[in-house]
Amino acid sequence: MKKKPITTNTMIRSALRRLFLRSRERAQAMKDAKYTCAKCGAKQSRAKGREVYVEAHHLDGVHWDGIFDEIRARLLHPANEYQILCKDCHKHIDE
């Protein structure tokens, strides 16, 4: 299978999901809720045979199309819009 010339939306979504799952904001929300479901009151459990997992739900949803557009506009540019520099030159580029 040939690699696509651009980073796919699936790859972006996967990377952002990994970031979210490790985010301090998500961790704090889980801690504040005492790892308990807001609907049914089930508490998270890892006990064998009685596993219950709780997840963080975005109340206003995740607007993926806007996120993809912003990432492409601000971070992922076409290859001809990059200049390759060593670490030292990159650090001093804006001086």
**pTM of the predicted structure, to 2 decimals:** 0.79
Helix axes 9-21, 64-74, angle to 10 degrees: 100
- Token pair in block for residue 39: 């609907």
- Token pair in block for residue 4: 């696509």
CA dihedral 1, 76, 69, 61 (to 10 degrees): 80
pLDDT tens per residue, range 27-36: 999 999 999 9
Residue 2: the pLDDT is 78
pLDDT tens per residue, range 5-25: 889 999 999 999 999 999 999
| pLDDT at residue 95 greater than cutoff 80 | no
Helices (H), the chain: 9-21, 24-32, 64-74, 87-91
- Token pair in block for residue 25: 């904001």
